[in-house]
Amino acid sequence: MRSDARPPLALTLAAAAGLLFLHLPIVLIFLYAFTIEERTYQFPPPGYTLQWFAVTWNRPDVWPPLYLSLRVAAVATALALVLGTLAAGAMARTRFFGREQISLLIILPIALPGIITGMSLRSAYAMMEIPFSTLTIVLGHATFCIVIVYNNAVARLRRLSGNLVEASADLGANGFQTFRHVILPNLGSALLAGGMLAFALSFDEVIVTTFTAGQQSTLPIWMLNELVRPRQRPVTNVVAIVVFATTFFPILLAYYLTRGGSETAGSGK
Amino acid sequence: MSMTPAVEFQSVARHFGTVRAVDGVDLTVAEGEFFAMLGPSGSGKTTCLRLISGFERPTAGSIRIFGQDVSRVPPHRRNVNTVFQDYALFPHLTVRENVAYGLMVKGVDRRTRMARADEMLALVKLPDYGDRRPGQLSGGQRQRVALARALVNEPRVLLLDEPLGALDLKLREAMQDELKALQRRLGITFVFVTHDQSEALSMADRLAVFNDGRVAQVGTPAEVYNTPRTRFVAGFVGSSNILPPAFSTALGGPAAWVSLRPESVRLVPWDRSVHRGAVRDLRFLGAGTRVQIDMPQGELAALVPAGLPLPAPGDSVGIVLAPNALHPMEGEA
**Contact A163/B at CB under 8 A:** yes
Question: What is the pLDDT at residue B331?
Answer: 65
Helix (H) or strand (E) holding B28: strand B19-29
Interface check B262 vs A, CB under 8 A: no
Nearest CA to B191 among B150, B157, B223?
B157
Strands B34-38 and B60-65, by their bridges, are unpaired
pLDDT for the residue B175: 86
CATH class of B7-235: alpha beta
- Measure the CA–CA gap between B111 and A1, rounded to whole angstroms: 55
- Please compute, for residue B99, the number of CA atoms within 13 A of its CA located in the half-sphere on the CB side: 31
In angstroms, the CA B53 to CA B80 distance is 6
Does B88 contact A169 at a Cβ distance shorter than 8 Å?
no
How many angstroms separate the CA of residue A100 from the nearest CA in chain B? 19
Contacts of B81 in chain A (CB under 8 A): 170-171
DSSP letter, residue B205: S
Residue B86 in contact with partner chain A when CB distance is under 8 A: yes
Q: At what angle do helices A184-203 and A234-257 cross, to 10 degrees?
A: 160
Please report the DSSP string for chain A in residue order: ----SPPPHHHHHHHHHHHHHHHHHHHHHHHHTTBS--SS--SS-S-B-SHHHHHHHH-TTTHHHHHHHHHHHHHHHHHHHHHHHHHHHHHHH---TTHHHHHHHHHHHHHS-HHHHHHHHHHHHHHTTPPPSHHHHHHHHHHHHHHHHHHHHHHHHHHS-HHHHHHHHHTT--HHHHIIIIIHHHHHHHHHHHHHHHHHHHHT--HHHHHH-SS---HHHHHHHHHHS-SSTHHHHHHHHHHHHHHHHHHHHHHHHTTTS---TT---
Q: Is-same-fold flag (B7-235; B246-328)?
A: no
pLDDT confidence bin for A267, thresholds 50/70/90: very low
Domain positions in chain A are 60-257
What angle, 0 to 180 degrees and rounded to 10, lies between the N-to-C axes of helices A134-159 and A99-111?
A: 130
Instruction: Using CB atoms, pick whichever of B74, B85, B102 lies closest to residue A171.
Output: B102
Q: Is A218 exposed, middle or buried (0-12, 13-18, 19+ CB in 10 A)?
A: buried
Tell me the nearest-neighbour CA distance from A89 into chain B, angstroms. 18
Judged against a pLDDT cut of 90, whether residue A170 lies above it is answered with yes
Best probe of the A interface among B51, B65, B92, by most A CBs < 10 A, is: B92
CATH classification for the domain delimited by B246-328, as one of 3.40.50.300, 2.40.50.140, 3.10.180.10, 3.30.420.40: 2.40.50.140
Q: A164 vs B76: CB contact, 8 Å cut-off?
A: no
* A214 pLDDT higher than 50: yes
CA-based nearest residue to B248, from B181, B308, B297, B193: B297
User: Does the structure show a pLDDT above 70 at A265?
Assistant: no
How many contiguous H segments (helices) and E segments (strands) does chain B have? Answer: 9, 18
Distance CA B280, CA B58 (A): 50
Q: Do A171 and B81 touch (CB under 8 A)?
A: yes
For every residue of B252-316, DSSP letters joined together read T--SS-EEE-GGGEEEEEGGG-S-EEEEEEEEE-SSEEEEEEEETTEEEEEEEETTS----TT-E
Burial class (CB in 10 A: 0-12, 13-18, 19+), B95: buried
Inter-chain touch B75–A161, beta carbons under 8 Å: no
Which residues in chain B have their CB less than 8 angstroms from residue A170's CB? 53, 55, 75-76, 80-82, 84, 150
**Bigger pLDDT: A214 or A172?**
A172
Displacement of CA A239 from its chain's centroid (Å): 17
Q: How many residues does chain B have?
A: 333
Q: What is the pLDDT of residue A259?
A: 67
Q: How far is B264 from chain A (nearest CA, A)?
A: 45
How far apart (Å, rounded) are the C-alpha atoms in residues A88 and B102?
Answer: 26
Q: Which residues pair with B281 in a beta bridge?
A: B292
| Mean predicted confidence (pLDDT) in A64-73 | 92
CB B269, CB B230: distance < 8 Å: no
Mean pLDDT of A247-264: 71
Q: Element (H or E) spanning B146, and its range?
A: helix B139-151
**Alpha-carbon distance values, A218 to A109, A177, B172 (Å):** 21, 40, 65
For residue A170, give the nearest of B53, B91, B92 by CB distance: B53
Distances in Å between the Cα of A268 and the Cα atoms of A136, A149, B144 are 21, 11, 45
Length of chain A measured in residues? 269
DSSP state of B93: S
User: Tell me, what's the pLDDT at B73?
Assistant: 92
* Cis ω for the linkage preceding A44 (within 30 of 0): yes
A184-210 per-position pLDDT tens digit: 888 888 898 899 889 988 988 888 888
Q: What is the pLDDT of residues A12-59, one digit of tens each?
A: 999 999 999 998 888 888 888 888 877 767 777 788 888 888 888 888
Torsions phi, psi for B306 (to 5 deg): -60, 140
How far is B89 from B95, CA to CA, in rounded Å?
8
> What does the radius of gyration of chain A's CA atoms come to, in whole angstroms?
22
- Which of A193, A198, A239 has its CA nearest to residue A220? A239
Low-confidence ranges of chain B (pLDDT < 70): 1-2, 331-333
To the nearest whole Å, the CA of B162 is away from the closest chain A CA by 14
- Contact of A177 with chain B, judged by CB distance below 8 Å, is answered with yes
* Angstroms from B52 CA to nearest CA on chain A: 11
* H or E segment to which residue B113 belongs: helix B110-123
Contacts of B162 in chain A (CB under 8 A): none
B233: nearest Cα among B256, B221, B216: B216
A60-257: what CATH class? mainly alpha
> Each residue of A80-114: pLDDT tens digit?
999 999 898 888 777 778 888 888 888 888 888 88
